[in-house]
Amino acid sequence: MTTDIMKVYIDGQFVDSADAKISVFDHGLLYGDGIFEGIRLYDGCVFRLDEHLERLEYSAKAVLLDMPWSRQEISDAVCETCRENNLKNGYIRLIVTRGIGSLGLSPKSCKSPSIIIIADVLSLYPKEYYEKGLDIITVPTRRINPAALSPAVKSMNYLNNIMAKMEADRLGYIEALMLNDQGYVAECTGDNVFIYHKGKLWTPPFHAGALKGVTRGVVFDIAESLGVPVEQENLTRYDIWVADECFLTGTAAEVIPVVEVDGRKIGDGAPGKVTGDFLVEFRSRVAKEGTLL
Ligand code: PXG
């Protein structure tokens, strides 16, 4: 929900949301030439801000985008945007575009990148999905081959994921399972995927087309503290169908159970116990950790 009193941070200035506009010559718009992060604010604390800023830096480095701001400056701007909007809980969208340039793919004409920060309330998955679990479906659109554009780069090119999301939506599903070009499981359109089987957690490795999810990293930390081994291995749809439990992780979704994939029940078709334990532990961590505004 966007409120009309919202202030958006654009290149060092706070602008009313109605006036928060960028140039039609920004290569972010013209070519999707830019990167972004989606970050959560819990109870006045920005969750895992440093991890998000590190991923942003890596995305920038991978696409040869020189960011003229230090991590501290970006961190301060993120916190300032939350304070400016009197926000205590919500979602922060941090965007860095290549900036204004001329028509033509080359970013040489783009003299300075733009930074945009939007902090708003978040529309969550309805509570019933956490209680009953999600039904998801494998879609035909494959995750982009890392040799074409690394899926580890959180770029402004999301058409691949949007196609997959629309395919799922048209079939009546809320989320899509995406395979890579070799047919191994990559991730969902905005979430990483995990299975739990015979006492171990399994998730696809980055080279299979998974984003290095911040929430995925938190699940690794929780697994260590709970003594649950984690394997990063290629997974097939078969591995998911026969798993004891399945769940998705993401900044918006947190840890959400999956109970059906491709019309097949996962485990006994109800949210798994281990998934529940991870969600509880995740929520206890968000209450304790974070960069105070
Ligand atoms: N894979 C993809 C392709 C994503 O875009 C994740 C995995 C999970 O990563 P994190 O770091 O969030 O655990 C993402 C993140 C949105 C939205 O506005 C999308 C994400 C996160 C927050 C909001 O749809 N995707």
R_g (Cα) of the chain, nearest Å: 19
Task: Give per-10-residue mean pLDDT for the chain (293 aa).
Answer: 77 96 97 98 96 98 98 98 96 98 96 97 89 97 94 95 98 97 97 98 96 97 97 97 97 97 97 97 89 84
Q: Give CA–CA dist 73/44, Å, rounded.
A: 19
Among all residues, which ones are annotated catalytic?
154
Q: Which atom of ligand 1 is nearest to the CA of 217?
A: 13
Q: Give CA–CA dist 218/195, Å, rounded.
A: 15
Helix (H, G, I), strand (E, B) or coil at 90: strand
Predicted local confidence at residue 2, as pLDDT: 52
Predicted local confidence at residue 63, as pLDDT: 97
Q: What CATH number has the domain spanning 7-120?
A: 3.30.470.10
Owner of token pair 């956490």 = 130
Helix (H, G, I), strand (E, B) or coil at 93: strand
Q: Give CA–CA dist 72/105, Å, rounded.
A: 31
Question: Mutate which of 94, 251, 278 to test ligand 1's pocket (most atoms within 8 Å of Cβ)?
Answer: 251
Q: What are the pocket residues of ligand 1 if the criterion is a CB atom closer than 6 Å to any ligand atom?
A: 38, 161, 187, 190-192, 211, 213-216, 249-252
DSSP 160: H
Predicted local confidence at residue 167, as pLDDT: 98
What CATH superfamily is the domain 127-285?
D-amino Acid Aminotransferase, subunit A, domain 2 (3.20.10.10)
**What stretches of 98-133 adopt beta strand conformation (E)?**
114-120
Domain positions in the chain: 7-120, 127-285
Q: Which atom of ligand 1 is nearest to the CA of 215?
A: 13
Which residue's C-alpha comes closest to atom 18 of ligand 1? 38
Within 10 angstroms of residue 266's Cβ, the number of other Cβ atoms is 27
